[in-house]
Amino acid sequence: MSDVVVIGGGVIGLTLAYELAGRGVAVTVLDQGPMGQESSWAGAGILPPGNPQQAVTPEARLRAHSHVLWPRLAEQLRTETGIDNGFRRCGGLEIREDGEPEQLDSEIEQWRTEGVDVERLDESGAIGHEPRLGRGLVAAYRLPQMGQVRNPRHLKALIAGCVARGVTLRPGCPVHSFVRLSSGSRVLAVRTLDGELFAGQFVIAGGAWSGRFLSELGCRTASVRPLRGQMALVSSLPPLIRHVVNVGSRYLVPRDDGRVLIGSTEEAVGFDKRNTADGVGELLAFGRRIVPALASATFERAWAGLRPQSPDGLPYLGAVPGASNLFVAAGHFRAGLQLSPITAVALTQLLLGEPTTVDVQPFRVDRERSGH
């Protein structure tokens, strides 16, 4: 029997399993499909910076701790599995093509307050960093510490790392429900296609699918729903840009091999992962506008993933009220890749009954509901 059963083999469940196994815990990860092929695979892998000493909000603290953990995790995975997950600090540009020149001032101030390096740029400064940007920029800044990870490679590394650490991975094993004590206060097992699986503790890390469990468990305050994000991939050699380029919620992410990811849409269409002509067309038009030379790049492919969105956009990290051995790590929305290292550390500490590195109270499952 495992000490811990993790439901969901995305970046959250796999990083948690890897961390727990590193602490000597016997872990089983169950996924309804293949491991690591949902939102975590579909994402862009943008890792915004942070500074744990000066982060002010609970969310910024999570981001800042992850910022510190990412290089260590990448190195550890490379050592243990031989897989390079492509983590690097490529820097990021935030730009605007229209509106007031001052429109990014409050964001720049916020980064400074958080103790994160930020450079305000005018158009020529931005073009100095990325000569192929289109002209006519009205506002820009640069975050030299912005990072990225090649998430499909990272997932491969996590899967290999979990195997190396003795984690039992069971793809194609959907969890249907929980077997609970009649008082409801403890979960004894999960019901799967292959029968009941008993364990000491359980973690729901089911990404956009976690909402079903939360409502079945009677969590009235918590919910998670899918928000589709479409992505287009183009390539061009030699590489056209070096920085992640953000324009609000749209972005370009350059990989070292000349590929550029263009993302992403935000669509409330349920569990529908199809690409649409409109979605992909808009992304390609956006890419060409920001970097005109992308017009002659090769179109490789498009895909879509389902972001796990909570009402306030923040993850749920903690115990399910009333069930002492059932935990949730879900609802990371647009930030699950970046927040996965600190999520794994904090959940491991909670499961082992240790004080947590970051305060997880603001992320508790029964926090006041806002949004949706």
List of residues contacting ligand FAD (CB under 6 A): 7-13, 30-33, 38-40, 42-46, 174-175, 205-209, 229, 231, 263-264, 305, 307-308, 330, 332-338
Nearest to 343 by CA among 321, 358, 353, 355: 358
CB 117, min distance to ligand FAD, A: 20
In the complex with ligand FAD, which residue's Cβ is closer, 125 or 191?
191
CB 165, min distance to ligand FAD, A: 18
Task: Name the DSSP class of 357.
Answer: S
In the complex with ligand FAD, which residue's Cβ is closer, 49 or 206?
206
Q: Residue 106: which residues within 8 A CB-CB, separation 6 or more?
A: none
In the complex with ligand FAD, which residue's Cβ is closer, 224 or 319?
224
In the complex with ligand FAD, which residue's Cβ is closer, 131 or 281?
281
CB 122, min distance to ligand FAD, A: 27
Task: Name the DSSP class of 208.
Answer: G
CB 113, min distance to ligand FAD, A: 22
In the complex with ligand FAD, which residue's Cβ is closer, 125 or 152?
152
CB 160, min distance to ligand FAD, A: 17
In the complex with ligand FAD, which residue's Cβ is closer, 111 or 202?
202
Strand, helix or coil at 283? helix
Query: CA-to-CA distance for 145 and 68, rounded, in angstroms?
Result: 11
Query: CA-to-CA distance for 140 and 328, rounded, in angstroms?
Result: 38
Query: CA-to-CA distance for 235 and 238, rounded, in angstroms?
Result: 9
Contact 243, 92 (CB under 8 A): yes
206 phi and psi, to 5 degrees?
-95, 20
Six token digits for residue 358: 């970051």
CB 54, min distance to ligand FAD, A: 21
Q: 58-88 as b/e, with b when 16 or more CB fall inside 10 Å?
A: ebbbbbbbbbebbeebbeebeeebebebbbb
In the complex with ligand FAD, which residue's Cβ is closer, 125 or 144?
144
CB 338, min distance to ligand FAD, A: 4
Question: What residues does 304 pair with on adjacent strands?
Answer: 230
CB 224, min distance to ligand FAD, A: 9
Q: Which helix (H) or strand (E) holds 336?
A: helix 336-351
In the complex with ligand FAD, which residue's Cβ is closer, 50 or 207?
207
Question: What's the Cα-to-Cα distance from 139 to each of 29, 128, 129, rounded to whole Å?
Answer: 46, 14, 14
Nearest to 27 by CA among 186, 149, 219, 162: 162
